[in-house]
Amino acid sequence: MARDYDIAVIGGGLVGAAIAWGLAREKQRVVILDEGDIAKRASRGNFALVWVQSKGLGLPDYVGWTIRSSDQWPQLAAELKDQTGLDVCFERPGGFSLALSERELAARAVTIERIRLQPGVVKFPVDILDHAAIEKLQPGIGPTVVGGSFCPLDGHVNSLRLFRAFHRAVMQLGVDYRPSHTVHGITHRSGGFRIATTAGEVRAGKVVLAAGNANAKLAPMVGLHAPMRGNHRGQIVVTRRMPRFLRHPVVTVRQTDEGTVMIGDSYEEASDDTRMTLAISTVMADRARRMFPILDDATVVRTWSCLRVMPQDGFPIYDQSESCPGAFVACCHSGVTLAANHAYDLAPMIARGALDAAQLAPFSARRFNVQKAA
C-alpha cells in the first residue's frame, strides 16, 4: 500500500503533539490529524501542574512513571526553548496539598501512606507538615490551614505556552499538521492504515490514537480498547494578575508566571463543558481564600469548565494492537505531567514498532479485562 506518511498521530493536543515531536526527532515522517478549534480540548483548559504526590494509588507503576517524567521535564523545557525560543516557564519548587481541617489532614496522610504501602512501589518524597512548617516555606497561609503534604518533585508550567511550543516545534521538524481532519474511520490493510477524515483519506504505515476521550470510539477500529469516562468535568477560576506571592504551587491554587492566580481541581459528573456551576466555583473560591487571605482582595477575571481526559480507572492507557500491528493508543489524564515521557520514551518505542513491556505493560488496557476467577 502506498503511504503518505510513516506515522499518523490522531489528536493534536498535548499528548498527540508530544508524541509527534518525539517521532519527528526519530526522523519519522509524521502527520497530525486534528479536529478544529471547537474541539473539546483539555490542553486549553487544564491546570498546568507537573504533579507527583498523590498519584498511583491502585497502580504502583504509575508512581515511578510519573516521577520519571517529572525528572525529565527540565530537559524537555530546555529543549523546547532552544528549538522554538518559547519559554514554557517550567518550575519545580515543590508543591503542597493544603488541609483546612484536622479531618482533611488525616485523610491526606492516609492516602500518602496507602500509596507507599503498595507492593513494588518506588520510594517518593512526601512530607506531612503542620501549619508552622508550611508557613516557613510558604508565607501568607490563612489561620484555618491546619497542615498539608509537601512533595519537592511537584512543579508547574505555562501550559498554553507548552501547547504552542509543541506545535511550533513539530512544524519546525517538518511534521504535517492538519486541523479540521476529524477521523471517522480507520482500516488496516497490507501493512498500513487508511484513515478516513472529514477532509479526505490519509495513508500511513502506523497510527497513534492520541485523541483523548475520543480514543474510546477510535480504539475498536484497530483492535484496541480504551474505556474513557467522558464526563469528568473540572472548573477553573482565574483572578487578575497579582504580584507574585505564591512560591509553590498548591494542588488547588497556583500563580502563573504572568501573575494570575488559578483556582481549580473541582470534580463533578457532567459532559457539557460550556457551563459553570456557581455552587462549585463558590466553594473553590472560598477554600482558596481561606488558604491565602490575600485573595480576599482579588478580582476574578474569568472562569471556565473543561472535561478531563480520564480513563475508566484514572490511570494511563498505552497499548499496541495485536490484530492491527502498527496501531498504538495513548491516553491519560496527565498530559502535562507526562509530556516528557511521551516525547522521550513512548515516541521512540512507537518509531521502533513495539512498546517496551518492562516499562509499559502495566498500562495495557488488558487490565480492564481480567478473567473471572474459576
Partner 1 sequence: MFKRLPDIAGATVAITIDGTPFSARQGDSVAAALLLAGRAACGMTAVTGRKRAPYCLMGVCFECLVTIDGEAARQACLVPVRDGMRIETQGAATSITEPAA
Query: Which three three-digit cell numbers place residue 47?
Result: 491546570
Rounded Cα distance between 261 and 239, Å, is 5
Number of shown-chain residues binding partner 1 (CB under 8 A):
16
Site membership for partner 1, residue 185 (CB under 8 A): no
Binding positions for partner 1, 129-148, rule CB under 8 A: 139-140
Residue choice 71, 176, 257, 273 for contact with partner 1 (CB under 8 A): 257
For partner 1, which is the closer residue by CB, 30 or 157? 157
* Contact region with partner 1 (CB under 8 A), list: 76-84, 102-110, 151-159, 292-300: 292-300
CB of 328 to partner 1, least distance (A): 40
Between strands 232-239 and 261-263, the pairing is antiparallel
Q: Residue by residue, what is the 3-state secondary structure of 128-145?
A: EEEHHHHHHHCCCCCCCC
Q: Which residues contact 236 (CB under 8 A, 6 or more apart)?
A: 45, 47, 262, 263, 264, 303, 304, 305, 306
Site membership for partner 1, residue 299 (CB under 8 A): yes
> Could you tell me which residues are beta bridge partners of residue 351?
none
Site membership for partner 1, residue 37 (CB under 8 A): no
Site membership for partner 1, residue 174 (CB under 8 A): no
Q: How far is CA 190 from CA 2, 32, 33, 324, 326, in A?
A: 10, 22, 22, 10, 11
Site membership for partner 1, residue 121 (CB under 8 A): no
Site membership for partner 1, residue 307 (CB under 8 A): no
Site membership for partner 1, residue 243 (CB under 8 A): yes
Site membership for partner 1, residue 298 (CB under 8 A): yes
| Binding map of partner 1 across residues 75-104, x = CB under 8 A, - = no contact | ------------------------------
For partner 1, which is the closer residue by CB, 139 or 191? 139
For partner 1, which is the closer residue by CB, 257 or 273? 257
Site membership for partner 1, residue 241 (CB under 8 A): yes
Q: Which residues contact 193 (CB under 8 A, 6 or more apart)?
A: 8, 186, 187, 203, 204, 205, 206, 207, 222, 324, 326, 327
Positions in the binding site for partner 1 (CB under 8 A): 139-140, 240-245, 257-259, 294, 297-299, 301
